[in-house]
Amino acid sequence: MGLYGMMRTGVSGMAAQSNRLSTVADNIANSSTNGYKRAQAEFSSLVLPSSGGSYNSGGVTTSIRYAISQSGPLQYTTSGTDLAVDGNGFFVVQDTNGKSVLTRAGSFIPNAKGELVNAAGHKLMGYDYKDGVPTPTVNSDAGLKVISIAGDELVATPSRNGKLTANLASASTPVAAGDLPSTNSPTASYTHKTSLAVYDNLGEKKLLDIYMTKTGPDTWEVAVYDRADAAPNTSFPYANPALATQTLTFDPSNGQLAGASATDIAIPVPGGDTLDLDMSGMTQLAAGFSVSGEADGAAPYSIDSVEIASDGNVFAKYADGSMRAIYRIPIATVQSPDQLQVLNGNSYTQSADSGDILYGFSGDKGAGKVVSGALESSNVDIAQELTDMIESQRNYTANSKVFQTGSDLMELLVNLKR
């Protein structure tokens, strides 16, 4: 079996080096592919039993391993939806068949539906805040949804906080108790009046009429009404009682609110939330009436841009400058990343040897952190690949010489019979 074995071993060596050259070709071709992990051919010898003084040559077999656990260098970009994992772990994406897979390729951009899609067409997945505060299912992708940042989504913010600052003229004449605005009578009288624009839950603007009326020395009543309830061409009577009333007491020694005085008023906005109106800056000084006020909330507006924090929270930034968390990106980890099954598009799935996929958040034990505005480059070293290519070429040539020598000897042996 000597000559046949030698030729078979030469063929085995050529096949092994061919596999190695194939991995080198793949690595060089993907040296600029974000998230690509270097493939490497590992050799293992095949030994056949020998007897007596004869030696049976075996051969070599190859197994392909991927350096998935070896991180590539981070390259920073100007896109906030470019993502990388600094440390262990993977993004969870949905492939073109709707199946959840893992990837380190984070060059995500919105598609026509606003879904974040990478270069392989895989859609980034996360937990939606609409379902409550995100909590991962540690051993399952249950609850994950494709992240959508559609810019045509309208959001209205109801008014919840405001501030009213005014100087109430100290020389004002007190109004009789029966004529105070809080009585909502046709003859109601007041000292000062202003209005404040707020927003309900649907983003509709509401006007609140605020009456400030002196009721006695250093004492003022604040009454708030819904402008929509006012009588035509006048103010009182309103169709409904005051939304809220409050009494302010001033310190006559300095014109500031007394220590025991109320400093705010809670106003239930019609169709909206409760507005906490801060009045701690009110004064009663010997000057004319002056007032300034503000309230939060906004009419319906759309998403202007998206920001992704290092904890994986995806924030929608709206046209009014406000921000709201809409998704949270999980980080998936496995016990043996290098044993994951490799799929198209720089993606991976669980194998029998990789261990179970565990789902958590950025910075959790064993998981890396999300880096926004960065991409992980491939971990291919071109210089090493060129060295391997030259080495494989020479080894292939040497194995071919073994086969050629065996062929020549076989021909010589056949010719001896002639």
pLDDT in tens, 335-353: 999 999 999 999 999 999 9
* Two tokens, residue 185: 């009578």
The pLDDT assigned to 304 comes to 79
- Location of structure tokens 């707020």: 198
pLDDT in tens, 372-392: 999 999 999 999 999 999 999
Q: What are the DSSP calls for 353-412, one per residue?
A: TT---EEEETTSTT--EEEETEEEPP---HHHHHHHHHHHHHHHHHHHHHHHHHHHHHHH
CA distances in angstroms from 26 to 21, 30, 31, 164, listed in the order given? 9, 6, 8, 68
Residue 418: pLDDT band by 50, 70, 90 thresholds?
low
Predicted confidence (pLDDT) at residue 107 exceeds the cutoff of 90: yes
The pLDDT assigned to 101 comes to 96
Predicted confidence (pLDDT) at residue 184 exceeds the cutoff of 90: yes
Nearest CA-CA partner of 181 in 226, 236, 228: 236
Residue 322: pLDDT band by 50, 70, 90 thresholds?
confident
The pLDDT assigned to 1 comes to 55
- Average pLDDT score over residue span 18-28: 95
CA distances in angstroms from 371 to 116, 124, 376, listed in the order given? 16, 15, 10
pTM of the predicted model over 0.85: no
CATH number (2.140.10.10, 1.10.1740.10, 2.60.40.10, 2.60.98.20) of 159-296 reads 2.60.98.20
pLDDT in tens, 52-73: 777 778 889 999 999 999 999 9
Q: Which residue has the higher pLDDT, 83 or 10?
A: 83
Which phi and psi (to 5°) does residue 71 adopt? -75, 145
Distance CA 281, CA 304 (A): 35
Residue 193: pLDDT band by 50, 70, 90 thresholds?
very high
- Helix residue ranges per DSSP H, 53-204: none
Checking phi first, is residue 334 left (phi over 0); if not, alpha (psi -120 to 50) or beta?
beta
- Average pLDDT score over residue span 389-407: 91
Averaged pLDDT score across all residues of the chain = 92
The pLDDT assigned to 31 comes to 94
- Average pLDDT score over residue span 271-277: 96
The pLDDT assigned to 302 comes to 78
Strand (E) or helix (H) holding 60: strand 59-66
CA atoms within 13 A on the CB side of 397: 6
How many other C-beta atoms can be found within 10 angstroms of the C-beta atom of residue 321?
Answer: 9
**DSSP single-letter state for residue 115:** B
Nearest CA-CA partner of 227 in 267, 260, 270: 270
pLDDT in tens, 209-246: 999 999 999 999 999 999 999 988 778 999 999 999 99
* Percentage of the chain modeled with pLDDT above 70: 98
Please, where in the chain does CATH 2.60.98.20 lie?
159-296
Residue 157: pLDDT band by 50, 70, 90 thresholds?
confident
Q: Which residues of 80-94 are buried (b: 16+ CB within 10 A; e: fewer)?
A: bbbbbbbbebbbbbb
How many other C-beta atoms can be found within 10 angstroms of the C-beta atom of residue 187?
Answer: 10
The pLDDT assigned to 376 comes to 96
The pLDDT assigned to 235 comes to 84
Whether 376 contacts 85, CB under 8 Å: yes
Predicted confidence (pLDDT) at residue 152 exceeds the cutoff of 70: no
* Percentage of the chain modeled with pLDDT above 90: 76
Whether 318 contacts 155, CB under 8 Å: yes
